[in-house]
Structure 1
Amino acid sequence: MKADPIVKNNVNIIGNLDAKETLIFAHGFGTDQTAWHSVANALKNNYKIILYDNVGAGNALPEAYSSNRYNSLFSYADDLIDICETLAVKDAIMIAHSVSGMIATLAKLKAPQHFKKLILVGASPRYRNDEGYIGGFEQDDLDGLYQAMDTNYFAWVSGFSSIAMNNPDRPELAQSFANTLSAIRPDIAQAVAKVIFQSDHREDVKQLDSPTLIIQSKEDIAVPLQVAEYLNKNIKGSTMVVVNATGHFPHISAPAEIIKALKQFLN
């Protein structure tokens, strides 16, 4: 029997339930829906807000994860569509961080009726460098990352969380990320990391044709500026804004910057 998507993905609905417009927030690797706390709270008076956890993260049903099913981002996109169908969501505005940017892209292409606008924060269609394309990582870099995760997951978490957050003057932010990363079962984290970092959705983003905002940090270890520029060039109807923030999690480290960019785009 298929699990109820609301339970499976720990869906929470907050904000103005009578609002005309719905925002759906989707989190990136190593975090959960709580990563959006500051941003969602700033918008909840004017919007109905849907938050959820990807399977394998947060408080999603642990038994829902299987490496066979979640061996590509398409399965996560199907989960997002299931949530929208269950809640009868039409023409929502999708706000997606990191890997969820491509999950949202795939969901939009498969079931466009659910989404009218996309907002991609620190998203990447491909993390590996390729001929004529800068993704940020060589395959050797990624093989080393998987090896480090495999050898001592919690030591890897400690180092990676600081580098990815990139706000050394606020160590509590890296610690918070380390906590959510550590809460993921190490074998699941490694499998999901491989699915993300080995994926290539460049041809998918070229098919998008709806108002799209691309939000990029000034400095991001996981997603260089060239990736945001690639998205901006290849997504019809997209605009790009570089926010005054460092690290891969500007919605956590500089929520005011993200809120400002969202409000300008939404209005």
Structure 2
Amino acid sequence: MNSSATSILERSHVTISGATGPNKPTIVFLHGLGGDQSDWRLVAPHFEDQYQVVLLDLIGAGQSDLTAYQPTAKHGSLAGHADDLLEVLSALAVHDVVFVGHSVASMIGVIAAVREPQRFSRMVLVSPSPRFINEKGYNGGFEQKDINELLAAMEGDYNGWANGFAPVMMGQQESPELVMGLTNSFVRTNPEIAKHFARVTFFSDTRAELGFLTIPTLIVQSAHDIIAPLAVGHYINEQLADSRMKVIETGGHCPHLSAPQQTLSAMDHFLHHETVL
């Protein structure tokens, strides 16, 4: 691996585990807003026997190189994060990967897969949303004023916002340990980067990309998610050329944390069977 590739992997704090060898497939996990690669700790190890497991941090999150975050030049849209993902896959020289993304990272993956479809074999979108704001004929879950208030709360008291938002995101009924873990993840994130990325996330609109995605896709949807409600999952499922949707009976926006076994069951079925879930 040349120095340029090594630099790219270090920039995104790429970690690799699991099966090795030229014929072993690769599965890549990408986290959402306020998280890092540790968000996949209850899911990713399951795949280490059969896959080369690749975890990375979004630029600006976790242990990535924070100096590489370019709020205007590159990371002012989700497309810049899709470029980062593709650069990592190129540095690893992998194709036909299984991509697993959570929330906004799902759509980052969609953008990347539309740009370079040969890089991907299957997509798993966990709690995805191509548009968070309601519009005529589309229910994204939030009114414009809701998003404005959320962003204002982040600006006014970031730590207070994190303590209030984490239970909503995880699900009010989930274990205190999971809620605290998510709260701490938000607090660890650089506040200025988190606030900027939240603005990019909540104002993004990637609905137009969906019609160009032809790769087989699984949508994993929480039954009780107020951030990406069921209507959003059904919308994505209807827009994609080759998709199926699995509703997990759990609350919140993070079924890979609140219901990891059900999430793994859905993923295993999708990756190893051709029948509809």
What is aligned with 1:50? Answer: 54
What is aligned with 1:26? Answer: 30
What is aligned with 2:12? Answer: 9
Distance 2:174 2:106 in 1: 28
What is aligned with 1:253? Answer: 258
What is aligned with 1:65? Answer: 69
Q: CA deviation at 1:169?
A: 4.7
**Residue 161 (1) aligns with residue 166 (2):** yes
The root-mean-square deviation of aligned C-alpha atoms, in Å, is 1.3
1:190-231, CA deviations, whole angstroms, 9 ceiling, x for partnerless residues? 110010000101110111111100110011121000000000
Which of residues 172, 177, 183 in structure 1 aligns to 2:182? 177
Distance 2:226 2:176 in 1: 17
1:12-39, CA deviations, whole angstroms, 9 ceiling, x for partnerless residues? 0111113521100111111100110111
**Residue 39 (1) aligns with residue 39 (2):** no
DSSP-derived class of the 2:223 partner: strand
Distance 1:263 1:5 in 2: 30
**Residue 82 (1) aligns with residue 82 (2):** no
1:152-176, CA deviations, whole angstroms, 9 ceiling, x for partnerless residues? 1101100000111114351111100
What is aligned with 1:208? Answer: 213
**Residue 109 (1) aligns with residue 118 (2):** no
Amino acid at match of 1:51: L
**Residue 126 (1) aligns with residue 128 (2):** no
Which of residues 92, 98, 122 in structure 1 aligns to 2:103? 98
Q: Identify if the C-alpha distance between structure 1 residues 169 and 196 changes in structure 2 by more than 3 Å, giving closer, same or farther.
A: closer
Amino acid at match of 1:195: V
Distance 1:100 1:159 in 2: 22
DSSP-derived class of the 1:193 partner: helix
The answer to whether the 8 Å contact 2:173/2:251 transfers is no
**Residue 220 (1) aligns with residue 262 (2):** no
Distance 1:160 1:30 in 2: 11
The answer to whether the 8 Å contact 1:167/1:253 transfers is no
Q: CA deviation at 1:42?
A: 1.2
What is aligned with 2:242? Answer: 237
Deviating runs (4+, > 2 A) in structure 1? none
Q: CA deviation at 1:246?
A: 1.2
Q: TM-score, normalised by structure 1?
A: 0.97
Distance 2:39 2:248 in 1: 18
Distance 1:148 1:38 in 2: 31
1:112-147, CA deviations, whole angstroms, 9 ceiling, x for partnerless residues? 111011110000110000110000000100000011
Stretches of structure 1 lacking an aligned partner (at least 5 in a row):
none
DSSP-derived class of the 2:34 partner: coil
The answer to whether the 8 Å contact 1:23/1:49 transfers is yes
Distance 1:242 1:47 in 2: 25
What is aligned with 1:147? Answer: 152
Distance 1:136 1:217 in 2: 14
1:48-68, CA deviations, whole angstroms, 9 ceiling, x for partnerless residues? 111000011100001111211
Q: TM-score, normalised by structure 2?
A: 0.94
Stretches of structure 2 lacking an aligned partner (at least 5 in a row):
273-277
Distance 2:153 2:99 in 1: 33
- Length, aligned pairs only: 267
